[in-house]
């Protein structure tokens, strides 16, 4: 069995410079002052917040924010950040990675004692603003028009196709099922789906934040975070929630002591506990209720034999690389490199596998 995991390298290859980091950020800024700007989707003030984050970047590199680094993944990220940037260089705002801005956001909020819900709202608004730029007024879904027809041979050689991209190009072009590991613009998030289990709870989030017509892509499952650990959490949350709620609902039926304990959750001061109680009660009434698993991570965990990696960087999405390395059913990893300097990192990431490295440039030429 052969599986493919493909990233945004294919969009850059055939979509041109529009989908490079620097042009996504440049377009995001320009969108705030363009005719297509929709203040219902995100406020123009997000531009001011972005300026704050940019101004703090050099300070982060100089170590002035080290006291606000709190988690293990923070430590891992700052180490990688210092490898990728030079402390003495002055960087343009477009030269800083999108995920790096999300990291600066968290540090800036800690330093200035900005807590939830404000920290969450600022972060989600920033993401929405960037996602709108990536979407590029829908143009990102038209890149497949530039795929050479011979490329269908490439996709047809795989049993499974996974992608970290949000667009539908591979689906439309290949006609095959594609698994969107980080979500997709055309799939509505359960938070905004009025018929979802989440919105059957009394604090239904869609009541406070209904989907804006014409901006459905901003209410999608598209996942964005600066670290793989946080992405993994989001990808696993539906599966883990379903397991927990089912276990508690069954426990209430079988054990009066468990039922008595759970009943106290109804008036708990923590809204998460109250929501858990309400979800369990709904589950007891309708055993078919489940949180929809938006990210096909269980499917990804089940692959075997060989996986090919195309258009991915070893410095991003390490959570997926770790799953591949832990999967004993996978024996071969074929990595298509853009830059030979990535090869040592790939060999280190997949130290339990047979590794094949090939040039992605030569691959694209083959299918012209």
Contact present, 297 and 233 (Cβ < 8 Å): no
For residue 36, the model assigns a pLDDT of 84
Q: Where are the beta strands (DSSP E) in the chain?
A: 2-6, 160-163, 179-180, 305-310, 330-337, 354-359
- Burial class of residue 195, CB neighbours in 10 A (0-12, 13-18, 19+): exposed
For the whole model, what pTM was predicted? 0.93
For residue 316, the model assigns a pLDDT of 75
For residue 209, the model assigns a pLDDT of 87
List the one residue out of 282, 278, 301 whose CA is nearest residue 290: 282
Ranges of residues in the chain whose predicted pLDDT is under 50: none
Integer-rounded Cα radius of gyration of the chain: 22
For residue 88, the model assigns a pLDDT of 86
Contact present, 129 and 28 (Cβ < 8 Å): yes
For residue 124, the model assigns a pLDDT of 92
Tell me how crowded residue 181 is: count the other CB atoms within 10 A of its CB.
24
Sign of torsion over alpha carbons 166, 298, 177, 158: positive
Please give the domain boundaries of the chain with CATH numbers for all domains.
2-14+139-184+296-366 (3.40.50.1220), 16-136 (no CATH), 198-221+224-285 (no CATH)
For residue 159, the model assigns a pLDDT of 97
For residue 65, the model assigns a pLDDT of 97
For residue 152, the model assigns a pLDDT of 96
């Amino acid at each position: 069995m052969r599986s493919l995991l493909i990233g945004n390298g294919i969009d850059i290859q055939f979509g041109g410079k529009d989908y490079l980091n620097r042009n996504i950020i440049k377009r995001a800024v320009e969108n705030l002052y363009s005719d297509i700007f929709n203040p219902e989707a995100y406020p123009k003030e997000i531009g001011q917040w972005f300026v704050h984050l940019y101004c703090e970047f050099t300070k982060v590199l100089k170590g002035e924010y080290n006291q606000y680094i709190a988690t293990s993944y923070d430590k891992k990220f700052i180490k990688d950040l210092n490898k990728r940037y030079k402390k003495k260089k002055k960087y343009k705002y477009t030269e800083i990675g999108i995920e790096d801005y999300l990291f600066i956001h968290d540090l800036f909020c800690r330093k200035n004692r900005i807590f939830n819900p404000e920290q969450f709202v600022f972060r989600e608004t920033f993401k929405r603003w960037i996602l709108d730029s990536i979407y590029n007024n829908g143009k990102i879904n038209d890149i497949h028009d530039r795929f050479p027809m011979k490329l269908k041979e490439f996709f047809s050689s795989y049993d499974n196709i996974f992608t970290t991209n949000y667009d539908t190009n591979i689906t439309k072009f290949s006609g095959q099922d594609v698994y969107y590991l980080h979500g997709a613009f055309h799939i509505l998030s359960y938070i905004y789906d009025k018929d979802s289990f989440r919105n059957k709870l009394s604090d239904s989030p869609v009541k406070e934040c209904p989907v804006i017509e014409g901006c459905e892509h901003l209410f999608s499952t598209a996942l964005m975070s600066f670290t793989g650990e946080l992405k993994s959490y989001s990808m696993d949350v539906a599966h883990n929630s379903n397991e927990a709620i089912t276990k508690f609902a069954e426990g209430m039926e079988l054990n009066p002591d468990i039922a008595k304990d759970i009943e106290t959750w109804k008036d708990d001061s923590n809204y998460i506990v109250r929501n858990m109680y309400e979800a369990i009660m709904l589950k007891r009434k309708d055993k078919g209720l489940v949180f929809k698993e938006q990210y096909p991570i269980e499917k990804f965990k089940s692959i075997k034999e060989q996986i090919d990696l195309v258009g991915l960087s070893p410095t991003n999405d390490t959570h997926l690389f770790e799953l591949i390395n832990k999967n004993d059913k996978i024996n071969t990893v074929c990595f298509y490199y853009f830059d030979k300097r990535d090869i040592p990192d790939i060999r280190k990431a997949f130290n339990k596998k047979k590794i094949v490295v090939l040039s992605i440039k030569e691959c694209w030429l083959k299918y012209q």
